[in-house]
Amino acid sequence: MKRIAIIGGGILGATLAHLLSLSDVEVTLYEKTQLFHEASSKAAGIITFQLYLDHDYKLTSASLSYYRRLREKGYELYRKVNGVSLFDKAKDGEHCIRVMTSRLENWGIPYKRYEGRSLEERLPGIYDPGTLVGLETWRDYVLDTGTLAQALREQFQERGVSLLEYEPVLSIKEHNGIVEVESENNGVEKYDYTIITSGPWGVRVAGLQGKVFIYSCQAQTIKTNPPDPDASIYDYTDEIYIVPESRNSIIIGDGCRPLNQPEEGLNPDQNITLGVIEALTTRFPNMEHGELASVWSSPCEVAMDGIPYTGPVIGQKIIFIAGGLDGYGIMRAPGVANILVDHLIHGEPIPWIYSTEKLYQYPKPTRIVINELYNPGCGHINTCVF
Ligand SMILES: Cc1cc2nc3c(=O)[nH]c(=O)nc-3n(C[C@H](O)[C@H](O)[C@H](O)COP(=O)(O)OP(=O)(O)OC[C@H]3O[C@@H](n4cnc5c(N)ncnc54)[C@H](O)[C@@H]3O)c2cc1C
């Protein structure tokens, strides 16, 4: 039986370990601390078809069907919400709306358009200088990463996955067609394949510095009544998103800054919090009485085209890497894991747009505007300008 080691117990490594374990292979998952410790535990949990990620439709659909299968096993993983996107018509919003509505139509997702009074009725308390337009769909979800981690632990036991927590990997070497993985307490173990899914740390070991960007992604919880407890709101004008956490609290993002070291990403930036709260209270003036309850951040990484990558580390045959989930790992991870399973178990080629090879075609950039790459001319939540 083939032995496969996965390094990194975030959402990508963990869903990959589960999906691989459904085939006839022996899977070991190494995690530096605990399952879902870093970015994967910090996510707001949004899964949406409302973002400008045309190429992502398949990944997101695959992830959703994975979560549905787990839910059928009895785990209350996610709840359904409505996605409301806000655009400013005066700032090229009409173009953005055309792009988004044509995508929603291609994907067969029904939507409703609001402006003026109908928007105020839909989102009471909103400040609209008369130029806002809203689009609503009924295909959004908020996933609870704590429940997912618990579900995966149980699935690992059922499928015989060895989960090694507090077991940081120190080195990975290919030697005579076998991978040697050295970890802190376990010494050196031999595997047929190793897959690095350790978030921004993987970039260092795979020599991808300069090919992907590492940034800090931040969110905050505010105790206040959401304008609609069943709606996720993406405000493309003020670059914030609002997720109803419960009836009297919301998670609000965005805010990101480039990092030199992944570790720096674990310290939230107070200026970002202030900026995000200002944007929130400008758009929803009645939220200024809310109370800031918590702030957190984590490092994320993104390739220049914003599309995840996976495949062998360049120059290697049996050491693989997967990453570049950006601020969308909850939406994308099981979809990316599927691509790897199809490749490793069923021998299918990795589509070029998701391959590691594409990374080496980019010149080393000195400046990148991610939102331009995602969708020329439109704003983008989680926008990073480097
Ligand atoms: C504030 C915030 C909000 C977000 N909101 C959303 C959202 O609403 N929707 C969405 O889709 N996405 C969201 N994201 C993005 C999402 O969280 C990430 O894309 C996703 O979690 C990345 O998963 P990962 O498994 O690739 O990496 P990680 O979760 O970073 O996992 C990597 C793991 O590798 C481990 N590791 C590192 N080094 C080693 C080593 N040497 N040995 C062993 N293990 C190691 C780490 O401990 C870590 O657990 C958000 C992110 C943040 C920070």
Which tens digit of pLDDT belongs to each residue from 311-353? 999 888 999 999 999 889 999 999 999 999 999 999 999 999 9
pLDDT at res. 96:
82
Cβ of 351 less than 6 Å from ligand 1: no
In a domain, 385, yes or no: no
Highest-confidence segment of 12-21, 38-47, 169-178, 301-310: 12-21
Domain around 177: 2-374
In a domain, 63, yes or no: yes
Pairing of strands 309-312, 319-323: antiparallel
Ligand 1 center to 122 CA (angstroms): 34
pLDDT at res. 184:
96
- How far does CA 86 lie from the centroid of its chain? 21
| Domain containing residue 177: CATH number | 3.50.50.60
In a domain, 144, yes or no: yes
Give Cα separations from 343 to 6, 65, 310, 336, 337 (angstroms): 15, 19, 10, 11, 10
pLDDT above 70 as % of the chain: 93
Judge whether residue 382 has pLDDT over 70: no
How many structural domains comprise the chain? 1
Cβ of 199 less than 6 Å from ligand 1: yes
Highest-confidence segment of 42-51, 73-82, 234-243: 73-82
Ligand 1 center to 292 CA (angstroms): 24
pLDDT at res. 174:
92
Q: pLDDT averaged over the chain?
A: 89
Ligand 1 center to 178 CA (angstroms): 28
What is the atom index within ligand 1 of the atom nearest the CA of 200? 30
What is the atom index within ligand 1 of the atom nearest the CA of 30? 43
Contact 243, 46 (CB under 8 A): yes
Separation of alpha carbons 211 and 304, rounded Å: 7
Residue with tokens 């758009």: 283
pLDDT at res. 201:
86
Residue with tokens 């785990």: 75
In a domain, 6, yes or no: yes
pLDDT at res. 366:
46
pLDDT at res. 203:
82
Contact 324, 353 (CB under 8 A): no
Give Cα separations from 66 to 47, 241, 317, 365 (angstroms): 13, 25, 28, 35
Average pLDDT over every residue of 252-279: 88
**For 267-276, how does the pLDDT look when each residue is reduced to its tens digit (9 = 90+)?**
999 999 999 9
pTM as predicted:
0.95
Cβ of 45 less than 6 Å from ligand 1: yes
Contact 199, 10 (CB under 8 A): yes
In a domain, 27, yes or no: yes
Give the mutation target among 67, 141, 167, 217 for probing the ligand 1 site: most ligand atoms within 8 A of CB.
217
pLDDT at res. 162:
98
For residue 193, list its beta bridge partners.
4
In a domain, 386, yes or no: no
Closest CA to 328 of 268, 386, 241, 258: 241
What is the atom index within ligand 1 of the atom nearest the CA of 322? 26
pLDDT at res. 302:
86
For atom 12 of ligand 1, which residue has the closest CA?
A: 328
Judge whether residue 264 has pLDDT over 60: yes
In a domain, 382, yes or no: no
pLDDT at res. 386:
46
Range from 85-99, 230-244, 352-366 carrying the lowest mean pLDDT: 352-366
**For 128-165, how does the pLDDT look when each residue is reduced to its tens digit (9 = 90+)?**
989 999 999 998 999 999 999 999 999 999 999 999 99
In a domain, 360, yes or no: yes
**For 202-242, how does the pLDDT look when each residue is reduced to its tens digit (9 = 90+)?**
888 787 777 888 889 999 999 998 989 999 999 988 888 99
Q: How confident is residue 373, by pLDDT bands cut at 50, 70 and 90?
A: low
Closest CA to 323 of 39, 88, 37: 39
pLDDT above 90 as % of the chain: 66
**Residue bearing the bigger pLDDT, 382 or 284:** 284
